[in-house]
Chain A
Amino acid sequence: MTSVVATNQTILVVGGGISGMTAALEAAETGKQVVLVESNPYLGGRTVQLYRYFPKMCHPTCGLEINLRRLKANPRIQVLTLAEVTGISGGKGAYSVSVKLKPRYVNSNCTACGECGKAVQTEIDDAFNYNLGKIKAAYLPSSMAYPQRYVIDPSIIGTPDAERAKAACKYDAVNLDDQEETISLNAGAIVWATGWQPYAAEKIVYYGYDRFPNVITNVEFERLADPHGPTGGKILRPSDGKEAKNVAFIQCAGSRDENHLRHCSRFCCMGSLKQTHYVEEAFGDAGKSTIYYIDIRAIDRFEDFYQKVQANPNVSFVKSKVARITQDKEGNPVCNGVNVEGYKRYATAHDLVVLAVGMEPSVKGIDIPAEVMSDSSGFIMADPANAGIFGAGCATNALDVNRSVQSATAAALRAIQVVNKVARAEV
């Protein structure tokens, strides 16, 4: 049985992405008790699945490492991974929360030596790489994963593969009897930081994401460019493994669209501008990028980033929302549309098309087990009736990392005020 110490002076943080980690750290570093609940087997959320960050083009691992160091140094944060909040009752200052813990089948003895992974034969989809490849059913989600502990996929439990994993482990870390459990804990305030998910690209039927192998999404492109990704960082297109030197980016794929997502997702213009760097980094002057756009929204201080990309002769801009993608005989995706500048038709073939899909709040469609207000896109909003639950990061709006962190700090501050009141009342 997992034991968690929590009282009405504890702050519960749901979601362990950059926002949730920030909120948890900010609160704990002022002396508050924090429980951080994350549904993945690792912390870091979507940012650790990026190859590089705009605007400085550094690797996400370095920012994550700083946060992990703060986390490890702080005894006041209890981290629960593979954990999901299933119910919230009570109110501000006195919530009672039930959390479902999924079995990992690997305990804290694990040294991440990888012997279990070698022993297991079954392969499963590689979720960390957006299913672009396969991994063994005993795996470390990513090289930077925290906790650095293997996971055994439930699909092999009860099969000889599971026994092989157990036999291979020299540290007695594999526990095949691990069971799902539900625990209940108290909290005075809750920070909801469950982040975002990429919009389901196949819903934009005229782009043929599910029909054409060489039409991929921006999140998948991040994994293609990453040396830890399925291609070892080579930008190879899915259909034939050919180097994708001529890449098209389609902006607002699903965003700013009453038929899909109503809102501007804000980061995706910058995301594609950033990704043109990946093409250039891989192929030099032979790498060509074309950005199809309605208007480029390089939010506030990123305008200079945009101007630098604009000045790059290897990057072209076409002011047009692509109307349809077709495929030619060589398997090249062809972008069809009308260019707003001159109203001329075009039908241009590329090696690879990257859909700059927008952000959808991951809270949309799933039940937050409490009454929480949301806007017309499903992002959660400050709710006076629920004065002890605060949204943070992309759960509240489409934000980049910088703004997510700001919003997480704000949420932590509000949560601290609530538990401070509880503390004063309890004295």
Chain B
Amino acid sequence: MSDLNQKMAAKYQNNFLKEIEEQAEMGEWVKMCMQCGLCSGSCPTNFQAGWDHPPQELFMMIRAGKRDEVLKSNSMWMCTSCYNCYVRCPRKVPVTHVMHGIAEYAYRIGQSPKNQPTQHLSKTFWDNCTKTGRVNEVKLTQSLYFKDGIGSGIKKAMEMQSVALGLVKAKRLNLMEAVGLSHKCKDIKGIHAMLAKANELEAKRQADKAKA
């Protein structure tokens, strides 16, 4: 992983903007930003502590070549995909998608912050749902709650107990999933073949980009 990071850093030298444009999905939009601030001002997570940089600042940092600060930042991971910025940006920058693109790139080259909750969720969710083609919700919540150890896991589970019971009553949560008796796709093999093909295409696309 960090090999890839070194390779990219060497390839783009001091041109981090170019690196983002070529390597991160939707990265080519960064240069369209005119620093008006509408996205940052419209972002609902903006008041939260621990949110390093609003999108507008992140875009400026990319142009300023602040490679480490950007890639290691938790900002892109804090995006809730509310799309406020996306619909309002006067330059039609797809801000939400650019945030995801940068996040994914940081993860791909092993630079994203470790143990970042949204990143953990994304990974867990993906692994969980690709197994059978359907999400096993009990296992998903378990692995999220117990991410920081047994103690805090039990505490979180207790806090959410009434919500869980409500979901069970409404037949939205099947406790049998805990023992693996979850709903599955009919054609699991087909799903796996499809995902493998998608992986292959994406790997090729990225290899081509890294070569170019």
Contact surface of A with B, Cβ cutoff 8 Å: 206, 252, 256-260, 294, 319-324, 336-340, 343, 345
Q: Are A338 and B56 in contact (CB under 8 A)?
A: yes
Q: Are B92 and A323 in contact (CB under 8 A)?
A: no
10 shortest interchain CB distances as A-B pairs = A323-B41, A337-B41, A257-B90, A338-B40, A321-B36, A258-B92, A320-B37, A294-B36, A323-B42, A343-B57
**Which of B41, B42, B56, B91 neighbours the largest number of chain A CB atoms within 10 Å of its CB?**
B41
What 1/0 mask marks residues of chain B from 159 to 197 whose CB sits below 8 Å from any chain A CB? 000000000000000000000000000000000000000
Give B39's nearest chain A residue, CB to CB: A323
What 1/0 mask marks residues of chain B from 33 to 60 whose CB sits below 8 Å from any chain A CB? 0111110111000110000011011000
CB of A368 to closest CB in B, whole Å: 29
Q: Given A321-B36, A321-B41, A323-B40, is A338 in contact with B92 using a C-beta cutoff of 8 Å?
A: no
Q: Are A322 and B53 in contact (CB under 8 A)?
A: no
CB of A217 to closest CB in B, whole Å: 18
CB of B176 to closest CB in A, whole Å: 46
Q: Which of A258, A294, A338 contacts B41 (CB 8 A)?
A: A338
Q: Given A324-B42, A345-B46, is A206 in contact with B35 using a C-beta cutoff of 8 Å?
A: no
Q: How many residues of B contact A (CB 8 A)?
A: 20
B88 within 8 A of A: yes
Q: Are A259 and B56 in contact (CB under 8 A)?
A: no
Q: Which of A258, A260, A319, A343 contacts B54 (CB 8 A)?
A: A343
6 A–B contacts from the bound complex (CB under 8 Å): A257-B90, A258-B91, A323-B37, A339-B37, A340-B36, A345-B47
Q: How far, in angstroms, from A336 to B47 measured CA to CA in the complex?
A: 12
Q: Are B41 and A336 in contact (CB under 8 A)?
A: yes
- CB contacts under 8 Å to A, within B70-94, are 87-92
Give B41's nearest chain A residue, CB to CB: A323
Residues in A neighbouring B42, C-beta threshold 8 A:
206, 323-324
Q: Are A294 and B88 in contact (CB under 8 A)?
A: no
Give A335's nearest chain B residue, CB to CB: B41
Residues in A neighbouring B41, C-beta threshold 8 A:
320-324, 336-338, 345
Residues in A neighbouring B56, C-beta threshold 8 A:
338, 340, 343
In terms of DSSP, what is the predominant structure of the interface of chain A?
Answer: loop
CB of B164 to closest CB in A, whole Å: 36
Residues in A neighbouring B36, C-beta threshold 8 A:
252, 294, 320-321, 340
Q: Which of A258, A259, A260, A294 contacts B35 (CB 8 A)?
A: A294
Q: How far, in angstroms, from A259 to B86 measured CA to CA in the complex?
A: 11
Residues in A neighbouring B53, C-beta threshold 8 A:
343
Q: How far, in angstroms, from A252 to B90 measured CA to CA in the complex?
A: 10
Q: Which of A206, A258, A337 contacts B37 (CB 8 A)?
A: A337
Q: Which of A206, A320, A343, A345 contacts B88 (CB 8 A)?
A: A206
Give B87's nearest chain A residue, CB to CB: A259
Give A292's nearest chain B residue, CB to CB: B37
Give B58's nearest chain A residue, CB to CB: A343
CB of A197 to closest CB in B, whole Å: 21
**Which of A252, A319, A321, A337 neighbours the largest number of chain B CB atoms within 10 Å of its CB?**
A321
Q: How far, in angstroms, from A336 to B40 measured CA to CA in the complex?
A: 10
Q: How far, in angstroms, from A257 to B34 measured CA to CA in the complex?
A: 11
Q: Are A338 and B37 in contact (CB under 8 A)?
A: yes
Residues in A neighbouring B47, C-beta threshold 8 A:
345
